[in-house]
Amino acid sequence: MSSSSLRVGVIGPAGFGGSYLCVELLNRGHTVFGISRNPEKLGKHPRYVPRPVDIDEVSTEDLAKQFEGIDVLVSEFGPHTAGAGALLYSMPSIDHGHVQKVTDARQCRSWNPLGRFS
């Protein structure tokens, strides 16, 4: 592993986008922490660490514990429902080290110091 490798947490590692992201991160030499209900579905790799948690059911405090020891967190989280219900989920985010659930892009803009999500 190079000195520039990161410890990357991926929420939703076994989904469509998350699985491709995890493979690419591993190919680039990073350690990946898969955070989801069934992160082991992605497979096994010496630098892949599954952290099973149901984001829909866990408290914010317990979810924050899953992020310990991670340099970067990427959310590939998608809803577990179909139809109109799929639009009602909230995604986790980090605001200066604190975890919160974000329900729309306006909240992302309010805490993001880089001005993205515009």
57-68 residue pLDDT tens: 888 888 888 888
Question: Residue 26: inside a domain, yes or no?
Answer: yes
pTM: 0.68
Answer whether residue 13 is part of any domain. yes
CATH number at residue 102: 3.40.50.720
Alpha-carbon torsion, ordered 113, 8, 54, 92, to 10 deg: 0
pLDDT recorded at residue 103: 44
Choose the most confident range, by mean pLDDT, from 24-38, 52-66, 103-117.
24-38
CA 59 – CA 77 distance, rounded (Å): 16
Q: Considering the domain boundaries, does residue 34 fall inside one?
A: yes
Helix (H, G, I), strand (E, B) or coil at 74: strand
Give the closest residue to 95 by CA, choosing from 58, 118, 67.
Answer: 67
- Asked if residue 26 has pLDDT above 90, the reply is yes
Q: Which domain holds residue 31?
A: 7-78+87-111
Tell me if 48 is assigned to some domain: yes
117 inside domain: no
Instruction: Note whether residue 2 is domain-resident.
Output: no
- Region 86-109: mean pLDDT is 48
pLDDT at 100 over 80: no
User: Residue 57 falls within a domain, yes or no?
Assistant: yes
Number of domains forming the structure of the chain: 1
